[in-house]
Amino acid sequence: MYADLRTIADYLIDRLTPRFSCSEVYHMTVKKAAILDVCHMFMNIGKGRKSLPFGHGAGLHPKLP
């Protein structure tokens, strides 16, 4: 799993620029995880539950206080 996560991270690092939105980065990540056949484990927090992609980008929105 570590090797797959590293592959995804390297894939993103090689392609990202400031023009990408957080949602675009998320979708690129999910797509790469699907290609690697690890999408079923992506954002998995156990017992069939998935983490919601919320929080990290919230402070970047210019209209939020």
Q: Look up residue 62 and give its amino acid.
A: P
Domain residue extents for the chain: 2-44
CB 7 within 8 A of CB 19: no
Q: How far apart are CA 32 and CA 62, in angstroms?
A: 29
Q: How far apart are CA 36 and CA 20, in angstroms?
A: 22
Q: How far apart are CA 50 and CA 33, in angstroms?
A: 14
pLDDT (tens digit per residue) in 8-57: 999 999 998 888 888 888 889 889 999 999 887 777 777 777 776 555 55
Whether pTM > 0.85 for this model: the answer is no
